[in-house]
Structure 1
Amino acid sequence: MARLFSKLKAIDFFKKIPSDLTEATLTGAWISILAAVIMVFLFGAEFSAFLSTTSKTSLVVDRSPQNELLKVNFNISFPALSCEFATVDVSDSLGTKRLNLTKTVRKVPISYDMVRQGAAMDDASHKPGPKYDEEGRFEDVDDIDITVPLSHENFEATLARYPIVVVNFYAPWCHWCQRLEPTWEAATKEVHDKYPEWDGRIRFAKVDCTQEMDLCRQHYITGFPSLRVFRRGHDDIYIAGMHEHEMYTGDRTKEALVSFADGLVPSAGQPHRKHANLTAAPSTPGCNLAGFVMVKRVPGSLHLVARSEGHSFDHAWMNLTHLVHGLHVGSRPSPRKYQQLKRLHPAGLTPDWADKLKDQMFVSEHTQSTHEHYLQIVRTTIEPAHSRHAGSYDAYEYTAHSHTFQSDDLPSVRFTYDLSPIQILVQETGKPWYQFLTTSCAIIGGVFTVAGILDAVLYQSFKAVKKMQLGKQG
């Protein structure tokens, strides 16, 4: 056994020198203290680096699952576009088209100053257009004096004379108005025969909006024809503490109009009674559109325009001036995720990092002005170190380029978006434990070795100087 231990001593890397053969010096002591301080400092720095994490940024082809949808959030105010006709459409390069989205879109009437007026409107999606009588059915109907278009001079007096007046706001050039005209005349004759002048409970009338533009704009008429119900000189009825305006949106046949009139007559003299077949008409000129749409991850557009299956629009009347309160893609990160994103984002976060159009106003300085906004969207995926899969999340940024031009088409606002095929992948990583041990050993060994070399150099230098001094003295 003693022989085995003797052989083991032969491979000792750290052979010891007897203490009586070593010499301690003051210089070596100072160098030892300095080396110890450096070791502690470097070890502490390395340990802090081991506990912290670093990020690695990569550019990869977008790894989104097939058929994954993207959420586009918006909040836009139009001071001169009525909620009655404001619609939100979505289309994309694959041919998908969805018109008049309502389930995830909220419409709120606003004033010219973009102040909210009343509650959000209940807008039914995909409502079919009104039915009409066959063309030529009432060609033999004689003209009726009472249907001579009203003007601003006799409009108020006519409304004040009868408890209920149903007014047809029309434009001679309008196709739907031309279809309605003979039916309107026939229905007017039958209603007035059934409820003659001496009865005086209801009357039909009409207004030519090409001749009475100010009168029509005063009542927020933007689509033709618009059928409004006025009670005792106004169409504002006070119900349960709220003011509401009424418009007729049913079929435009003679039978439907006469039946509608019969249903209105019992409410004559009762201006606070709401009729079941009437819907709220706009009492303000503008509309705020807010909500979100789910779109495919392909180039597409979000289209905001005035549209109705039974109305025509005068392009010169349409003013699509709008204020973008906000437009962002995807979901807003939570405060914790926002701080992670702010820390790990390759270039940091600017105040408008997620919404380049926030609080920007776009004014229609000319008639028939169409506004287009082109958005290029980039996806950034953050993968935290401790929850690489469960805690990863996406953040979307976009660049925006906007311009306004005059078009022969109906003025509109279009947000065209295009998604980059390149995804920014930010992965948070930590230092492995074995690397920490290797570096720690390198720090201790390296500092010890360098300190030993320095001590040896200084020791030999001092020794050589002493020899030279002794030689000169001898």
Structure 2
Amino acid sequence: MDSIMSKLRNLDAYPKINEDFYSRTLSGGVITLASSVVMILLFISELRLYLHASTETKLIVDTSRGETLRINFDITFPALPCSMLSLDAMDISGEQHLDVRHDIIKKRLDTQGNVIGTRQDGIGAPKIENPLQKHGGRLEHNETYCGSCYGAEESDEECCNSCEDVREAYRKKGWAVSNPDLIDQCKREGFLERIKEEDGEGCNIYGFLEVNKVAGNFHFAPGKSFQQSGVHVHDLLAFQKDSFNLSHHINRLAFGDYFPGVVNPLDRAHWTQKTPSGMYQYFIKVVPTVYSDLRGHTIQTNQFSVTEHFKTGDVGRFQSLPGVFFFYDLSPIKVTFTEEPVSFLHFLTNVCAIVGGVFTVSGILDSFIYHGQRAIKKKMELGKFN
């Protein structure tokens, strides 16, 4: 034990006046050791800051024009089948993308959230050998099939050879398909049977949208959308349902590419519907963002903030369309993040400040302890002498 004390005493880096010049104490050795540890820890922290670039943030007016906005999404609807779910996008410039299918992938989910084998739309009940022709009769031998659009065709040459073709023709006309069983193509393909078969299933839809860089909205809703008297509505009668469960889980939602430090507030957001039907709305403020790293690589992307609102609706009267709506607007201010290297001179100055500061504070602490111990020792000796 004495040898350990002696070795620790020899570490004292603070010589004392007179005998203090050469006197080494146990407390001085402890303080020296502690201050050395503190200096090493502070040096490592400073070295880490030096090796990692600092980020400078600036706010500027966004003067960009004619750009597009990329919206990446991955959303799960645990109680809404894929056959019902559609995606629309529109903006204040008047551009509309109805029933978007390009760059979009849907996965059917069972009640446990497991992925069911996918199948192409339009495949249902087996086709009969002689489907109903446009002229009203059945398909004869060596005759090319041309199904009726039931009054929705835009020209005499137009044919609707599937249930989806008929529904699309109706959408363009602004009509709703009230009873699919009255349409030969839908009855032949088992449209209603497929809807009933998928009842209770969920859907995971993911992909991206490329829209104009202006305010707008995109929404997920049941049914095929169309314009009726200038109003955006969805064909819900074809599903013969009174309510739709729009509970959803947002796995990911981003306006643009990822960059270091970005936080997307709707990632892993979850909402459960407790009323028969309604419209869930997200109001999003998109902030254009530019991130430049040390190598000069620039990422043009966006950040956003969001508020939420739920509006109950009466499906039968179409007072509010059941669906999940994302209304977005763009901020006129752009944020720029620029990575900048820390200079070696700045690093060296900080290291010198750390060493000098720790050494000075340790010296003051050691002096206080040493002189305090001496004063106590002298008082004890005087007390014994008297």
Q: How would you bin the TM-score normalised by the shorter chain?
A: 0.5 to 0.7
Deviation at 1:100, TM superposition (A): 3.0
Residue 31 of structure 2 aligns to a residue whose secondary structure is helix
Change (3 A) 1:30 1:309: closer
1:382-413 CA-partner distances (Å, limit 9, x unpaired): 989x8596598876664543333115338442
Letter of the 1:164 counterpart: N
1:434 aligns with 2:342: no
Q: Which residue of 2 aligns with 1:278?
A: none
Q: Which residue of 2 aligns with 1:227?
A: 183
Q: Which residue of 2 aligns with 1:373?
A: 281
| RMSD of aligned residue pairs (Cα, Å) | 5.8
1:406 aligns with 2:321: no
Change (3 A) 1:119 1:33: same
1:354 aligns with 2:267: yes
In 1, the alpha carbon distance for the partners of 2:330 and 2:102 equals: 29
Letter of the 2:224 counterpart: A
Residue 322 of structure 1 aligns to a residue whose secondary structure is coil
Letter of the 1:404 counterpart: T
Deviation at 1:44, TM superposition (A): 2.2
Q: Equivalences for 1:66-465 in 2 at 5 Å? A: 66=64, 67=67, 69-77=69-77, 83=83, 87-106=86-105, 116=116, 118-121=118-121, 164=130, 166=132, 187-188=135-136, 191=137, 223=178, 227-228=183-184, 235=188, 245=189, 284-285=194-195, 288=203, 289-296=205-212, 298-303=214-219, 304=221, 305-307=223-225, 314=237, 317=240, 319-326=243-250, 328-330=252-254, 354-357=267-270, 360-362=271-273, 365=276, 369-376=277-284, 387=294, 390=297, 398-406=306-314, 408-409=317-318, 411-418=321-328, 421=331, 432-452=347-367, 454-456=369-371, 458-459=373-374
Report if the CA contact (8 A) 2:177-2:238 is conserved.
no
Change (3 A) 1:353 1:164: closer
In 2, the alpha carbon distance for the partners of 1:108 and 1:28 equals: 76
Pick aligned residue for 2:29 from 33, 36, 41: 33
1:425-457 CA-partner distances (Å, limit 9, x unpaired): 999998833122112112113322443455356
In 1, the alpha carbon distance for the partners of 2:112 and 2:39 equals: 65
Report if the CA contact (8 A) 2:82-2:108 is conserved.
yes
Q: Which residue of 2 aligns with 1:47?
A: 43
Aligned length: 308
Report if the CA contact (8 A) 2:284-2:307 is conserved.
yes
Could you tell me the TM-score, scaled by structure 1's length? 0.46
In 1, the alpha carbon distance for the partners of 2:383 and 2:80 equals: 102
In 1, the alpha carbon distance for the partners of 2:61 and 2:218 equals: 24
In 1, the alpha carbon distance for the partners of 2:82 and 2:379 equals: 100
Could you tell me the TM-score, scaled by structure 2's length? 0.54
In 2, the alpha carbon distance for the partners of 1:450 and 1:113 equals: 65
Report if the CA contact (8 A) 1:356-1:398 is conserved.
no
- Rg larger in 1 or in 2? 1
Letter of the 1:317 counterpart: Q
Report if the CA contact (8 A) 1:381-1:423 is conserved.
yes
Identity among equivalent positions (%) equals: 10
Report if the CA contact (8 A) 1:55-1:427 is conserved.
no
Letter of the 1:324 counterpart: H
Q: Which residue of 2 aligns with 1:238?
A: none
1:70-128 CA-partner distances (Å, limit 9, x unpaired): 41414455967784x86422123444432332212245678999974642339xxxxxx
In 2, the alpha carbon distance for the partners of 1:24 and 1:109 equals: 83
In 1, the alpha carbon distance for the partners of 2:235 and 2:99 equals: 16
In 2, the alpha carbon distance for the partners of 1:91 and 1:425 equals: 28
Change (3 A) 1:459 1:299: same
Unaligned runs of 5+ in 1: 1-18, 123-161, 168-183, 196-201, 206-219, 236-244, 247-280
In 1, the alpha carbon distance for the partners of 2:119 and 2:238 equals: 28
Report if the CA contact (8 A) 2:72-2:256 is conserved.
no
